[in-house]
Amino acid sequence: MPQRPDVPAIISLLVSLMAISLMSVLFGRKTSGTNMSSINYARGLVISLYMVSWGFTTIAAVLTSTNPGNMTSCALSIFVCISLYAASKIIIYLFLIEKVYVVSSVTTTRKDTLLYRVNILLLTPYTVILVLMVLNRVAVLDEKDECIIGLKPLASIFLILYDIFVSSWLTILFIRPLMSTNSVLQGPSKGKLRQVARRTLIGSIVALVLSSGNVFTLVYYGGYEDSVLCLLSCTLDVTLNAVTVHWVTSRARGSQPTDKASRGVTNQNNNNNTTNHNTSNEKKMSPSDTHISVTVESYTD
């Protein structure tokens, strides 16, 4: 009697293949025409996220097809979920912390910004969470030789509480300057910076929803989830997070051409007064405005 096709495994493989292709496109989009030696910290985080997400989805596709009846592959699945998934979350947190610094403390260096140091310190408990996940991992074959992986309640509960706390805290840090009338985002010259804050606020909310939904699924299954479903949900999580981060760091449609066009018109109309015009602008532009302009441009395509 012919064996029935495993529909969930087929769906998982198709999703993984699409995610691999998407990560490749985003990686090419972000690095096209860029000198790799001149990539700044922010863009380096984004590119690292693409690479980790690509690695996770590629390995997940292989493991999905080899897990049934294979204890070695089953054990590798949970280790991949723990290591690469955790790496992607850390990169996203570092990215959001960097954006908080950009929209709140652009006139000081990172090491001199108390909020930045506090946010970095908040990431240290993740090492404890990582140890708990390793010690409380689940990787077994059931009576049908199907691979079951997951985390025991102790690790999954701590993980979801930590994710909710950190994501909520970073979300609040983006809401605060947007709502305050005295923040660095206010003023007619801070339009780009406000756009960065709004986009990143949406990105942090998406990260919170995706992480919560993924871990809640694990809790729902009591820490014992079919490896196909677990790898599929984690693949969707890291991929959608990477897409969100790509959107956050992309220019608004039409902004670049408009800027170029306006610069061209300005240069043409003021060709005979270039020196006086530049001198006047230098006098009017404060150091913080210059820093904001350079910083915001380094965060977009």
Domain limits of the chain? 9-29+40-252
How confident is the model at residue 120, as a pLDDT? Answer: 92
- The confidence band for 293, taking pLDDT boundaries of 50, 70 and 90, is very low
- The confidence band for 124, taking pLDDT boundaries of 50, 70 and 90, is very high
Q: Is the domain 9-29+40-252 a CATH 3.30.1370 member?
A: no
What token pair was written down for 100? 């908080």
Give the separation between CA 163 and CA 149, rounded to whole angstroms.
20
Give the separation between CA 281 and CA 203, rounded to whole angstroms.
34
As a whole number, mean pLDDT of residues 45-70 equals 88
pTM of the model: 0.75
pLDDT at 191 over 50: yes
The C-alpha angle 28, 33, 39, rounded to 5 degrees, equals: 85
HSE-CB for 171 with a 13 A CA cutoff: 14
Give the separation between CA 145 and CA 72, rounded to whole angstroms.
12
